[in-house]
Amino acid sequence: MADPRPFLPSDPNTLPCTYTPLPNGANPDGGAPETRKRHLKELLAIFSGLLMVSLLVVIISGKEPNSHNASNKHEPLFLAKQPHTARPEKLRPVSRGVPAGVSEKMNRLAGDVDTPVFPWNNSMLSWQRTAFHFQPEKNWMNDPNGPLFYKGWYHFFYQYNPNKAVWGDIVWGHAVSKDLIHWLHLPLAMVADQWYDINGVWTGSATILPDGKIVMLYTGSTNESVQVQNLAYPADHSDPLLLNWVKYSGNPVLVPPPGIGYKDFRDPTTAWFTSEGKWRITIGSKLNKTGISLVYDTKDFKTYELLNGVLHAVPGTGMWECVDFYPVSKTSDKGLDTSVNGPDVKHVVKASLDDDRNDYYAFGTYDEKTGKWVPDNEKIDVGIGIRYDYGKFYASKTFYDQNKGRRVLWGWIGESDSESADVQKGWASLQGIPRTVLFDQKTGSNLLQWPVEEIEKLRLSSKDFNKVEVKAGSVVPLQVGTATQVCAFSVLIYILC
Among 32-46, 115-129, 167-181, where is mean pLDDT lowest? 32-46
Q: Write out the H or E segment, with its range, that includes residue 42.
A: helix 34-63
Q: What percent of the chain has pLDDT over 90?
A: 62
143 included as an active-site residue: yes
Residue 232 CB partners (closer than 8 Å, separation 6+): 190, 215, 216, 217, 218, 245, 246, 247, 248
Instruction: Please provide the average confidence, as pLDDT, over all residues in the chain.
Output: 82
Q: What is the DSSP letter of 125?
A: H
At residue 60, the pLDDT reads 58
Q: With cut-offs at 50, 70 and 90, classify the pLDDT of residue 11.
A: very low
- Tell me the per-residue pLDDT of 23-56, one tens digit each, with 9 for 90 and over: 343 343 444 444 444 555 566 667 667 777 666 6
What's the pLDDT at 41? 58
Q: Which of 3, 114, 143, 297 does the annotation list as catalytic?
A: 143
Residues 303 and 255: their CA atoms lie apart, in Å, by 11
Pair 190, 232: CB distance under 8 Å: yes
Which pLDDT value is given to residue 460? Answer: 81
Calculate the CA 180 to chain-centre distance: 24
